[in-house]
C-alpha cells in the first residue's frame, strides 16, 4: 500500500508539473466561455458601415415612417453608452424608390444590391397596414437581400411597420391605443420555492425560485464533473500503454504489485481531477462572492452537501472509469488496438451526456430515476439530481451510492486482474474474449 | 553457504507451451551466477518467477529466504533485457522514484543517485530529461536505478548489450565491485566470453530444462579435452575431409576443432603440417561458446523437444 502512495505521489507530480497541465487549467475557462468572448469581440469589431436600403411603397406611409424611425435610431440607438461615444451598430438608411413606368423594380434593385449600392430593398404591399382580410389581399412585406443571415435590419423593419400598422388600425377603428395596451397587459406567474419550519421553530417563507440556482447549479456541477473525469481518466490509458510500450512496466511490476501500481495510478488521477476541481470551483466561488454578476440565489444553492456529493461522485467516477481505461491500456500494445476496444465502452461512458437535459427538465421522472441508477451514468446524473430541487429521495441516493460503490469496487478489482496479466503480455491483439480469460485467470 | 535463490522442480506453461519444465536451481549467496541459454529457452520466464512477477504452475521458488511472496522484492535489483525509463522525466527524479519504490527515503535515494551518477560519469546529466541521453548513458542510468538501493540480489538480463567498450568496462567494474561487497549476482547473457570471464557458476537452460549447472571448470571437464584451437593458413580447406574432425567452429582468424572421441591430436597436427603452415596449435578444453553451440546449435535444435537429456553432452 505504501508503494501505491509512492506511485500516486510521483504520477500526480508528473501530471501537474507539466506545461500542458498549467495550459489546460488556463485554457478550460477560455474554451468554456469561448462563445461569450467571441460575441464580445465581434461586437467590438462589428461592421458599422451604413445599411442603405430602398423602399418601394406605393402608398408612401411606410417609407416615411421608416425614414423618421431610422433618423431617431441613428441619432440615439447605435452609440456606446460610455464616453467618448463610439458607434457600435450600423446606421440604417432607407430611401424611397419609385419605379419608372414599365420597370420591374425587383430586377432593377436586385442589380443595385449586387453592385453593392444597396444592402437590400423592401417591397410594401398596398394593404400592408390594413387589418387582415380587409383589403385586396396585397398585404405582404417582402425584404430582398443577398445577405439573409443579417437579421437585425429586417427585424427592425418588421417592428417599425407593425407599430405603424397597429397605430393606424386603432385610429381607423376609433380606439384609444394607450387604453388597449393597458387593458391587454399580460399576467405573470412567479415560480416560488416552499416554506418550511426551521429547527428553532422559526417559519421560513418561501422565496422566489431562481433559474440560475435551479438550472445553473446542477448544470455547472454535473458538466464540470463530467468534463474533468473525461479529461483526466483517459490519460491513464495512454500512460499505461506508454509504460508497456517503453518496457517500463516490467521494471515497475518487479518492484510493485500490479494491483498497488494500478491503485497508485487511480489515486493520482483522482487527485489531479480534484486539484482541478478545487481550482475551478474555488475560483468560481471567489468570483461569485466578489462580483455582482452571479445571483445570490445561485450562491445559496451551493451548499456543503453539494460540494461533498461532488467530491464523492467524482472520486467514484474516476476510480471506476480510470480502472477501465488502465485495464484497456495494459491489455494493448498499440494505440490502434486500444481505440478499437474503447469504442463500445465510450458509448456507455458518454451516456450521461445524452440524458443530461431530460434529467434536468424532469428530475423525478421514471426515466430520470432509472438512468441515474445506471453506474456509468450515476455520478453525473445523480450529481445533477442532488443539486436540482426537489432532489432525489434518500433511498435513491443510498441506492446510487451502493450501486456505484459496488461498480467501482468491481471495476478496480476486474481492472486489477486484467492489468496484472496484460501489463506484461506482448504481441497479442487484445479482444474482449481474451480480456474475459484474463479476468478469470488474473 | 546459503543460497540466495533456490528453485525446486519449478514448471510454467503458457497455453500449450511449456516454457519451463521442472527446473531446479540454486544460486549461492555472494557469487556471480551466469544464466545462459538460447532465445526462447525459458530464461526470462525463470527470472520473472524469481521476481514473483509470474507464479509457477508447480514447484517452489525461494528468494533470499522467502518463499512464494514479494516480501523480498525490495532486496532485489532487476535490470530487464529491454530497458524502460520515462523519457520525459529528469534522470535524478527517475532514480529517486525507483529508489522510493524500493523502500528508500527520498533524501537517501537522491544522495545515492548522485553518488552513482558521479561514479559512472553522468553527474552533468542529473537534471536532464532521459530523452536527451545516448543509448549507452540511458543504459547506465537504468543500471543505477537497479543498484541504487544496495540490493542483496542483483538480477541482470543482458546488462552489456549495445554498450561500447568504455561503458562496458565501467559497468563490469561496478558489477564486480558489488560482487566483492557481497551482492549475489544472477546474470543472464548471450555473450559466452563475458560469462566465462565473470561467472563463478554457470547454468544453461534449453527448451525449458536445465542442461548445464556448475563451475566453468566442471562444465568444461564434463565436455572433455577433445578440442583443438588452431591458427593456420587456409585452415578450413586444410581441415576439410579429415576423418578425425567432428566439427569446426570458425572464428575467422582462429578455428576451434572438435575431434572424434579417441582421436589423437598429434595425428591432426601432422596432417595439417603436411598441408599448410600452422601458426598455433593448442589442445584445449571446449569454450563455453562451443559447448553452447553443441547443446543448442542447429543439430540439437532439430531434435524433438521431448528429448530433454544428452544435448550434445558426452556420455
Checking if the pLDDT of B264 tops 80, the result is: yes
Name the grid cell of B202: 554457470
B249 lies within 8 A of chain A by CB: no
Give yes or no: residues B80 and B183 share one domain: yes
pLDDT recorded at residue A391: 83
Sequence-separated (6 or more) residues with CB below 8 Å from residue A334: A245
> Rg of the Cα trace of chain A?
32
Which of A250, A333, A421, A424 to mutate to test binding with chain B, by most B CBs within 10 Å of its CB?
A: A250
**Residues of B in Cβ contact (< 8 Å) with A252:** 84, 101
Q: Is B98's CB within 8 Å of A251's CB? A: yes
Report the 10 Å Cβ neighbour count for B234. 11
- For cell 417591397, what's the residue? A123
Give yes or no: residues A296 and A238 share one domain: yes
Give yes or no: residues A134 and A280 share one domain: no
Q: Is B78's CB within 8 Å of A249's CB? A: no
Look over chain B and give the mean of its residue pLDDT values, rounded to a whole number: 86
Checking if the pLDDT of B39 tops 50, the result is: yes
Beta strands in A334-428 (DSSP E): none
In DSSP terms, which residues pair with A96 in a beta bridge?
A: A55
Checking if the pLDDT of B192 tops 80, the result is: yes
Closest residue by Cα to residue A206 from A218, A219, A192: A192
**CATH number of the domain residue A72 falls in:** 3.40.190
Domain membership of residue A191 (yes or no) is: no
> What is the nearest CA distance from B181 to chain A, expressed in angstroms?
23
**CATH number of the domain residue B69 falls in:** 3.40.50.300
> What is the nearest CA distance from A4 to chain B, expressed in angstroms?
9
A112 lies within 8 A of chain B by CB: no
CB B80 within 8 A of CB A231: no
Question: What burial class does residue B13 get, using C-beta atoms within 10 Å of its C-beta: 0-12 exposed, 13-18 middle, 19+ buried?
Answer: middle
Give yes or no: residues A153 and A233 share one domain: no
Give yes or no: residues A216 and A166 share one domain: no
Tell me how many domains chain A contains. 2
Give yes or no: residues B200 and B233 share one domain: no
3-state SS track over A231-254: HHCHHHHHHHHHHHHCCHHHHHHC
CA A379 to chain centre: 18
Domain membership of residue A195 (yes or no) is: no
> What is the nearest CA distance from B54 to chain A, expressed in angstroms?
9
Instruction: Give the pLDDT confidence of A326-341 residue by residue, as tens digits.
Output: 888 888 878 888 888 8
- For cell 496484472, what's the residue? A420
Show which of A173, A203, A221 is a domain's final residue. Answer: A173
Confidence of residue B17 (pLDDT cuts 50, 70, 90): confident
Q: Is B101's CB within 8 Å of A6's CB? A: yes
B85 lies within 8 A of chain A by CB: yes
Element (H, E) at A93: strand A92-96
Residues found in chain B: 315
Checking if the pLDDT of B65 tops 70, the result is: yes
The C-alpha atoms of residue B73 and residue B52 are separated, in whole angstroms, by 8
Give yes or no: residues A159 and A281 share one domain: no
CB A280 within 8 A of CB A28: yes
Q: Is A243's CB within 8 Å of B101's CB? A: no
Residue in A with minimal Cα distance to B45: A424
> What is the nearest CA distance from B94 to chain A, expressed in angstroms?
9
Q: Is B73's CB within 8 Å of A252's CB? A: no
Residue in A with minimal Cα distance to B95: A10
Question: What burial class does residue B231 get, using C-beta atoms within 10 Å of its C-beta: 0-12 exposed, 13-18 middle, 19+ buried?
Answer: middle
Which of A242, A254, A421 to mutate to test binding with chain B, by most B CBs within 10 Å of its CB?
A: A254
Show the domain range for A397.
212-441
Question: What burial class does residue B119 get, using C-beta atoms within 10 Å of its C-beta: 0-12 exposed, 13-18 middle, 19+ buried?
Answer: middle
**Residues of B in Cβ contact (< 8 Å) with A7:** 101
Q: If contacts are CB pairs under 8 Å, which of residues 175-234 in chain B contact chain A?
A: none
Confidence of residue B180 (pLDDT cuts 50, 70, 90): very high
Q: Is B102's CB within 8 Å of A255's CB? A: yes
**Residues of A in Cβ contact (< 8 Å) with B82:** 247, 250
pLDDT recorded at residue B309: 41
**Average pLDDT value for residue range A90-112:** 92
Checking if the pLDDT of B307 tops 50, the result is: no
Tell me how many domains chain B contains. 2
Confidence of residue A424 (pLDDT cuts 50, 70, 90): confident
- For cell 544453461, what's the residue? B204
Give yes or no: residues A339 and A287 share one domain: yes
Q: Is B84's CB within 8 Å of A256's CB? A: no
A251 lies within 8 A of chain B by CB: yes
Q: Which range among A118-122, A278-282, A360-364, B183-187 shows the weakest confidence by mean pLDDT? A: A360-364
Give yes or no: residues A382 and A436 share one domain: yes
pLDDT recorded at residue A208: 65
Give yes or no: residues B24 and B147 share one domain: yes
Element (H, E) at A204: strand A203-204
Checking if the pLDDT of B281 tops 80, the result is: yes
Confidence of residue B313 (pLDDT cuts 50, 70, 90): very low
Which of B12, B49, B97 to mutate to test binding with chain A, by most A CBs within 10 Å of its CB?
A: B97
Checking if the pLDDT of B306 tops 60, the result is: no
pLDDT recorded at residue A138: 78
CB A345 within 8 A of CB A290: no
**Average pLDDT value for residue range A374-383:** 90
Checking if the pLDDT of B91 tops 90, the result is: yes
Domain membership of residue B298 (yes or no) is: no
Checking if the pLDDT of A358 tops 60, the result is: yes
Instruction: Give the pLDDT confidence of A130-149 residue by residue, as tens digits.
Output: 888 777 777 788 999 999 99
Checking if the pLDDT of B300 tops 60, the result is: yes
Q: Is A256's CB within 8 Å of B74's CB? A: no
CB A79 within 8 A of CB A86: yes
Checking if the pLDDT of B310 tops 50, the result is: no
Residues found in chain A: 442
Show the domain range for B241.
225-284
Q: Is A255's CB within 8 Å of B74's CB? A: yes
The C-alpha atoms of residue A62 and residue A56 are separated, in whole angstroms, by 9
Show which of B199, B219, B239 is a domain's final residue. Answer: B219
The C-alpha atoms of residue A379 and residue B132 are separated, in whole angstroms, by 43
Instruction: Give the pLDDT confidence of B222-262 residue by residue, as tens digits.
Output: 877 788 889 988 888 888 888 888 888 887 888 888 888 78
**Average pLDDT value for residue range B288-310:** 65
Which of A12, A17, A21, A248 to mutate to test binding with chain B, by most B CBs within 10 Å of its CB?
A: A248
Q: Is B97's CB within 8 Å of A257's CB? A: no
3-state SS track over chain B: CCEEEEEEEEEEEECCEEEEEEEEEEEECCCEEEEECCCCCCHHHHHHHHCCCCCCCEEEEEECCEECCCCCHHHEEEECCCCCCCCCCEHHHHHHHHHHHCCCCHHHHHHHHHHHHHHCCCHHHCCCEHHHCCHHHHHHHHHHHHHCCCCCEEEEECCCCCCCHHHHHHHHHHHHHHHHCCCEEEEECCCHHHHHHHCCEEEEEECCEEEEEECHHHHHHHCCCCEEEEEECCHHHHHCCCCCEEEEEECCCCEEEEECCCCCHHHHHHHHHHHCCEEEEEEECCCHHHHHHHHHCHHHHHCCCCCCCCCCCCC
Give yes or no: residues A273 and A403 share one domain: yes
Strand B3-14 versus strand B17-28 pairing type: antiparallel
The backbone torsions φ and ψ at residue B203, rounded to the nearest 5 degrees and listed phi first, read -135, 130
Give yes or no: residues B273 and B147 share one domain: no
Give yes or no: residues A267 and A162 share one domain: no
Instruction: Give the pLDDT confidence of A152-184 residue by residue, as tens digits.
Output: 999 999 999 999 999 999 988 898 888 888 888
Q: Is A254's CB within 8 Å of B102's CB? A: no
pLDDT recorded at residue A211: 72
Domain membership of residue B16 (yes or no) is: yes
Tell me the CB-side half-sphere exposure of residue A90, using CA atoms within 13 A: 18
ipTM associated with this complex: 0.78
CB B6 within 8 A of CB B65: no
Strand B201-206 versus strand B66-67 pairing type: unpaired
The C-alpha atoms of residue A342 and residue B95 are separated, in whole angstroms, by 34
% of residues, chain A, pLDDT over 70: 95
Closest residue by Cα to residue A371 from A386, A361, A356, A387: A356
Show which of A144, A173, A202 is a domain's final residue. Answer: A173
Show which of B219, B237, B254 is a domain's final residue. Answer: B219
Which of B53, B78, B145 is nearest residue A424 as measured by Cβ atoms?
A: B53
Sequence-separated (6 or more) residues with CB below 8 Å from residue A233: A269, A273, A317, A318, A321, A322, A325
Give yes or no: residues B190 and B57 share one domain: yes
pLDDT recorded at residue B315: 38
**Average pLDDT value for residue range A187-212:** 74
Show which of A142, A173, A204 is a domain's final residue. Answer: A173
Give yes or no: residues B257 and B176 share one domain: no
CA dist B235 → A203, B249, B276 (Å): 112, 11, 8
Give yes or no: residues A166 and A220 share one domain: no
Give yes or no: residues A222 and A362 share one domain: yes
Sequence-separated (6 or more) residues with CB below 8 Å from residue B253: B231
Domain membership of residue B261 (yes or no) is: yes
Confidence of residue A62 (pLDDT cuts 50, 70, 90): very high
Domain membership of residue A181 (yes or no) is: no
**Residues of B in Cβ contact (< 8 Å) with A253:** 53
Give yes or no: residues B238 and B89 share one domain: no
CA B110 to chain centre: 30
Domain membership of residue B198 (yes or no) is: yes
The C-alpha atoms of residue A123 and residue B26 are separated, in whole angstroms, by 103
pLDDT recorded at residue B314: 46
- For cell 480469460, what's the residue? A437
A424 lies within 8 A of chain B by CB: yes
Name the grid cell of A282: 474555488
Sequence-separated (6 or more) residues with CB below 8 Å from residue A353: A226, A380
B76 lies within 8 A of chain A by CB: yes
B55 lies within 8 A of chain A by CB: no
Domain membership of residue A9 (yes or no) is: no
Give yes or no: residues B169 and B246 share one domain: no
Residue in B with minimal Cα distance to A11: B97
Tell me the CB-side half-sphere exposure of residue A66, using CA atoms within 13 A: 29
The C-alpha atoms of residue A24 and residue A41 are separated, in whole angstroms, by 22
B53 lies within 8 A of chain A by CB: yes
Give yes or no: residues A305 and A246 share one domain: yes
Give yes or no: residues B266 and B140 share one domain: no
pLDDT recorded at residue B218: 86
Residue in B with minimal Cα distance to A5: B101
Residue in A with minimal Cα distance to B143: A251
Which of B48, B70, B78 is nearest residue A251 as measured by Cβ atoms?
A: B78
Give yes or no: residues B59 and B115 share one domain: yes
Name the grid cell of A262: 494500478
Amino acid at each position: 500500500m505504501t508503494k501505491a502512495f509512492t506511485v500516486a505521489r510521483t504520477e500526480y507530480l508528473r501530471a501537474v508539473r507539466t506545461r500542458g497541465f498549467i495550459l489546460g487549467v488556463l485554457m478550460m475557462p477560455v474554451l468554456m466561455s469561448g462563445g461569450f468572448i467571441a460575441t464580445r469581440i465581434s461586437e467590438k469589431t462589428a461592421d458599422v458601415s451604413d445599411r442603405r436600403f430602398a423602399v418601394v411603397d406605393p402608398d408612401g406611409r411606410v417609407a416615411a415612417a421608416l425614414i423618421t424611425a431610422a433618423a431617431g435610431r441613428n441619432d440615439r440607438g447605435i452609440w456606446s453608452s460610455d464616453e467618448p461615444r463610439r458607434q457600435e451598430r450600423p446606421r440604417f438608411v432607407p430611401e424611397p424608390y419609385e419605379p419608372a413606368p414599365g420597370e420591374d423594380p425587383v430586377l432593377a434593385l436586385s442589380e443595385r444590391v449586387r453592385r453593392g449600392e444597396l444592402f437590400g430593398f423592401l417591397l410594401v404591399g398596398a394593404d400592408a397596414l390594413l387589418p387582415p382580410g380587409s383589403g385586396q389581399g396585397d398585404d405582404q412585406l417582402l425584404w430582398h437581400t443577398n445577405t439573409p443571415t443579417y437579421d437585425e435590419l429586417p427585424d427592425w423593419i418588421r417592428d417599425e411597420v407593425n407599430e405603424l400598422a397597429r397605430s393606424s388600425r386603432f385610429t381607423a377603428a376609433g380606439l384609444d391605443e394607450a387604453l388597449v395596451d393597458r387593458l391587454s397587459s399580460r399576467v405573470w406567474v412567479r415560480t416560488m420555492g416552499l416554506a418550511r419550519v426551521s429547527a428553532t421553530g422559526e417559519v421560513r417563507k418561501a422565496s422566489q425560485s431562481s433559474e440560475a440556482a435551479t438550472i445553473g447549479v446542477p448544470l455547472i456541477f454535473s458538466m464540470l464533473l463530467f468534463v474533468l473525469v473525461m479529461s483526466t481518466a483517459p490519460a491513464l490509458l495512454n500512460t499505461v500503454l506508454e509504460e508497456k510500450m517503453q518496457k517500463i512496466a516490467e521494471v515497475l511490476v518487479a518492484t510493485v504489485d500490479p494491483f498497488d501500481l494500478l491503485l497508485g495510478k487511480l489515486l493520482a488521477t483522482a487527485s489531479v481531477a480534484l486539484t482541478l476541481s478545487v481550482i475551478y470551483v474555488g475560483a468560481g466561488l471567489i468570483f461569485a462572492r466578489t462580483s455582482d454578476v452571479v445571483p445570490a440565489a445561485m450562491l445559496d444553492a451551493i451548499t456543503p452537501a453539494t460540494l461533498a456529493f461532488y467530491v464523492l461522485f467524482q472520486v467514484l467516477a474516476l476510480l471506476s472509469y480510470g480502472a477501465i481505461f488502465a485495464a484497456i491500456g495494459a491489455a494493448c500494445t498499440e494505440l490502434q488496438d486500444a481505440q478499437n476496444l474503447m469504442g463500445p465502452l465510450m458509448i456507455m461512458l458518454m451516456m450521461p451526456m445524452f440524458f443530461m437535459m431530460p434529467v434536468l427538465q424532469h428530475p423525478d421522472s421514471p426515466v430520470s430515476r432509472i438512468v441515474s441508477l445506471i453506474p456509468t451514468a450515476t455520478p453525473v446524473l445523480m450529481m445533477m439530481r442532488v443539486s436540482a430541487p426537489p432532489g432525489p429521495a434518500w433511498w435513491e441516493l443510498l441506492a446510487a451510492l451502493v450501486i456505484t460503490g459496488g461498480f467501482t469496487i468491481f471495476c478496480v478489482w476486474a481492472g486489477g486482474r486484467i492489468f496484472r496479466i496484460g501489463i506484461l503480455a506482448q504481441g497479442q491483439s487484445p479482444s474482449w474474449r481474451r480480456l474475459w480469460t484474463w479476468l478469470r485467470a488474473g | 553457504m546459503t543460497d540466495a535463490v533456490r528453485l525446486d522442480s519449478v514448471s510454467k506453461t503458457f497455453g500449450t507451451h511449456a516454457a519451463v519444465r521442472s527446473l531446479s536451481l540454486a544460486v549461492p549467496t555472494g557469487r556471480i551466477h551466469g544464466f545462459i541459454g538460447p532465445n526462447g529457452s525459458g530464461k526470462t520466464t525463470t527470472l520473472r518467477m524469481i521476481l514473483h512477477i509470474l507464479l509457477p504452475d508447480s514447484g517452489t521458488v525461494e528468494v533470499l529466504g522467502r518463499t512464494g511472496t514479494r516480501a523480498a522484492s525490495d532486496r532485489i535489483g532487476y535490470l530487464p533485457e529491454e530497458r524502460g525509463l520515462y523519457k520525459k522525466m529528469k534522470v535524478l527524479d527517475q532514480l529517486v522514484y525507483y529508489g522510493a519504490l524500493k523502500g528508500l527515503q527520498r533524501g537517501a535515494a537522491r544522495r545515492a543517485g548522485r553518488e552513482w551518477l558521479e561514479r559512472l560519469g553522468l553527474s552533468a546529466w542529473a537534471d536532464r530529461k532521459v530523452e536527451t541521453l545516448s543509448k549507452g548513458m540511458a543504459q547506465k542510468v537504468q543500471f543505477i536505478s537497479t543498484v541504487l538501493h544496495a540490493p542483496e540480489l542483483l538480477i541482470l538480463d543482458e546488462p552489456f548489450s549495445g554498450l561500447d567498450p568504455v561503458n562496458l568496462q565501467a559497468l563490469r567494474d561496478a558489477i564486480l565491485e558489488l560482487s566483492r561487497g557481497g551482492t549475489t549476482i544472477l546474470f543472464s547473457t548471450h555473450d559466452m566470453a563475458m560469462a566465462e570471464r565473470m561467472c563463478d557458476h554457470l547454468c544453461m537452460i534449453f527448451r525449458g530444462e536445465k542442461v548445464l549447472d556448475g563451475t566453468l571448470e566442471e562444465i568444461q571437464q564434463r565436455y572433455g579435452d577433445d578440442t583443438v584451437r588452431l591458427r593456420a593458413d587456409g585452415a578450413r580447406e586444410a581441415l576439410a575431409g579429415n576423418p578425425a574432425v567432428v566439427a569446426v567452429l570458425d572464428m575467422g582468424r582462429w578455428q576451434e576443432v572438435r575431434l572424434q572421441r579417441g582421436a589423437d591430436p598429434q595425428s591432426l597436427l601432422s596432417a595439417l603440417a603436411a598441408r599448410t603452415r600452422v601458426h598455433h596449435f593448442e589442445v584445449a578444453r571446449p569454450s563455453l561458446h562451443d559447448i553452447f553451440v553443441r547443446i543448442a546449435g542447429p543439430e540439437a535444435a532439430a531434435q524433438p523437444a521431448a528429448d530433454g537429456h544428452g544435448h550434445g553432452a558426452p556420455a
